[in-house]
Amino acid sequence: MCGLLAFFSARGDAGAHRDAIAGALECLHHRGPDETGVELIADASGRFADAVFAHKRLAIIDVALSHEPLPYADGRYLLTFNGEIYNYIELREELIRDYGATFATQGDGEVIVAGYHYWGEQVLNRLRGMFAFVIWDRQQRRAFGARDNFGIKPLHYLQTPDGVYLASEKKALLPFAPAAYAGDAGVDHANLSHYLTLQYVPEPGTLHQGISRIGSGEYLTWTPGGQIDVRRWYRPVFRPSQIDDPQRLYHQIRETLRESVRMHMRSDVPVGSFLSSGIDSTAVVALAREFNPNILTFTVGYDVPGYSEIDVAQESARHLGVTTIPTKIGPYDMMEALPRIVWHLDDPVADPALVPLYFVAKKAAEHVTVVLSGEGADEFFGGYTIYREPLSLSAVNSLPGGVQKGLRAVSKAIPQGVKGKSFLERGTTPLEQRYYGNARMFTEEEKQYLLRRYNPSVRYTDVTAPIYAECAELDDVTKMQYIDLYTWLRGDILVKADRISMAHSLEVRVPFLDREVFDIASIIPVDLKLPPRSDATKFAMRQALQGVVPPAIVNRRKLGFPTPTRVWLRAEMYEWVRHIFATSGAGDLLDLSYAMRLLDEHKREEADHSRKVWTVLIFCIWHAIFVAKTLDPGIQRNQSALLTKPVVGSMVR
């Protein structure tokens, strides 16, 4: 696991940018504290200084070798890579057997670049893992960068007249952004509006104009004098099928998950696992201990009744015969850590679960270098309660259009808060207009009060409409899963998993988010994901894990490291939040007096505005750090040893 920063010169003068690249790399130190590599790359003729490759390494596999940036084919290619390829051993053997490939390391990174040499862009379809990488071909003077199937690992890019910059985190690109994008002028207002609706900034954009992200399952190419070309190489395809033998399906799910966990445990350093009270992380631990009975697990909780998962996690750990190490946090821990958390995020993500994740990752990093986690199970197997909505609304939305129109009129006449109003409204609204993911923060009407420059033409459908167009043939439940793969999963879940774990130089691996697991999950029909006469979710997965997961957990409802922000915003955090609002400098973008009213109503218990207040709070902290620069997040700037390697190519400048 690593942090990468690459620059490709449009003018063949990369040497003039080397020192600036090396300096910017240091803000990625947390991603790779073991080694630093910075190389200037000349083209094959030695006439041009084409690129600078910079890298921070967290050594996981082939610790003694696999230093990056990594050359291949007598220096024709140079690779910088973030992630893990779990089938690298099998691919390596195939490349040696079928092509006579040679290797100088025992690592997975060299398999990527060797595969690119022999298979070209098709190497992407052979990789099983999480990755973001960049390859420079000195012979063709061509950059090739790619991101994994589901967007587990990040890759940002910026194009300027000087050339193209790519980095694991946006903060490494900020020094190179045009001066015109400084201050509030550089904030992308459309994406700010989307953030206030969704609680995250949707891909491929960011909150900084000019800086974008390569999307999940996409690759990028660039040659000097040209424009960046981004294309998709992978699209997940759900294909729900009639299942004649459910028990056979359950067996396939269980064995595919078992194999995925086994592959994800390949490492030359210690591997642990997160453990909450739910089935996802418990299943990962239960399968992982088959391969390492001494695996350490980590959980987090609070002293606030109804929020802590520690007791259930410890019970599961005892049942499985593994050790769990708990961490407890309080409101003052949260306030002290939030600026650092937001700095690591790059863009605001208003998910309170970031905080417990930050502390459980910090504790895990004291004991191991890699942890397994349960992200992706809900999106793959149908785990969110809201996925049942199309089933509950079927009695209404299956009625003729004229009848639905009449019921819609009736719903408007029913007073707010009266039972049945919401049911009729939702039942007579097409899925494409009512569902845009798991998070629903501010409505369009509320944003008119909150945003200083509200633009009614910016709607969440700008994000979701192209995604719905790709899955039009699917049933409504599976459409919701597909929407979440491209919105909630990669915008919230995977951003927090990557940034918050890497904040502590900890690698998080997600065995559910595996292409083989998706292939089996994709065929499950709706009635085996969400049985019609039950409130169960992920039914097929739960059935598959009978006898693997403790009985008390198999049908337990999802909590997922809940956070008592509702309680703390009314008490210990209240004055601190008011201070952040007042000093963030975000008043030209948001009407913070409106946000203050929400906070005060919440404190007086007139309404539960905790999620809305939290959404504004996280943006204000982000603005104070990255725009107004009035808040110091307190990040320690350590450095790792610089590898001394020769410049690649015959030009040394």
Q: Which domains does the chain have, with CATH numbers?
A: 2-232 (3.60.20.10), 246-383+489-554 (3.40.50.620), 387-484 (no CATH), 565-626 (no CATH)
Distance CA 555, CA 349 (A): 30
Confidence band for 47, pLDDT divided at 50, 70 and 90? confident
Please, which residues bridge with residue 37 across strands?
55
CB 537 within 8 A of CB 388: yes
- For 4-33, b/e burial (b = at least 16 CB within 10 A) is bbbbbbbebebbebbeebeebbbbbbbbbb
Helix (H) or strand (E) holding 153: none
pLDDT at 534 over 70: yes
CB 547 within 8 A of CB 184: no
98-103: average pLDDT: 97
Give the angle 141-219-187 at the CA atoms, nearest 5°: 100
Residues in the chain: 653
For the record, the structure tokens of 523 come out as 């065929």
pLDDT at 653 over 80: no
pLDDT at 28 over 70: yes
How far, in whole angstroms, is CA 405 from its chain's centroid? Answer: 39
Q: What amino acid occupies position 191? A: N
pLDDT at 212 over 80: yes
Query: What does the DSSP assignment read for 498-531?
Result: HHHHHTTT-EEE-TTS-HHHHHHHTT--HHHHS-
The position carrying tokens 């994901």 is: 529
Phi, psi at 314, each rounded to 5°: -65, -35
Q: Which of 133, 3, 6, 41 lies closest to 646, judged by CA? A: 41
147-164: average pLDDT: 97
Task: Tell me the pairing of strands 2-9 and 163-167.
Answer: antiparallel
How far, in whole angstroms, is CA 115 from its chain's centroid? Answer: 26
Helix (H) or strand (E) holding 246: helix 246-264
In this predicted structure, what is the pLDDT of residue 465? 97
In this predicted structure, what is the pLDDT of residue 1? 62
pLDDT at 652 over 70: no
* Residue 29 Cα distances to 26, 366, 425, 635, 637, angstroms: 5, 17, 50, 11, 8
pLDDT at 647 over 60: no
Considering only 20-24, 428-432, 460-464, 553-557, which range has the smallest mean pLDDT?
A: 553-557
pLDDT at 645 over 70: no
Distance CA 493, CA 487 (A): 9
Distance CA 306, CA 629 (A): 37
pLDDT at 646 over 50: no
pLDDT in tens, 371-425: 999 999 999 999 999 999 998 888 787 788 888 788 778 778 888 777 777 888 8
* Residue 173 Cα distances to 190, 487, 538, angstroms: 21, 24, 40
pLDDT at 341 over 80: yes
Confidence band for 650, pLDDT divided at 50, 70 and 90? very low
**Catalytic residue status for 2:** yes
Contacts of 597 (CB under 8 A, 6+ apart): none
pLDDT at 648 over 70: no
For the record, the structure tokens of 603 come out as 């404190």
Q: What amino acid occupies position 129? A: G
In this predicted structure, what is the pLDDT of residue 428? 86
Q: What amino acid occupies position 349? A: V
- Averaged pLDDT score across all residues of the chain: 93
Q: What amino acid occupies position 119? A: W
Distance CA 613, CA 597 (A): 10
CA gyration radius, the chain: 25
pLDDT at 651 over 70: no
Distance CA 173, CA 178 (A): 10
Of 2, 27, 471, 620, catalytic: 2
| 3-class DSSP state of 334 | helix
**Between residues 304 and 155, the one the model is more confident about:** 155
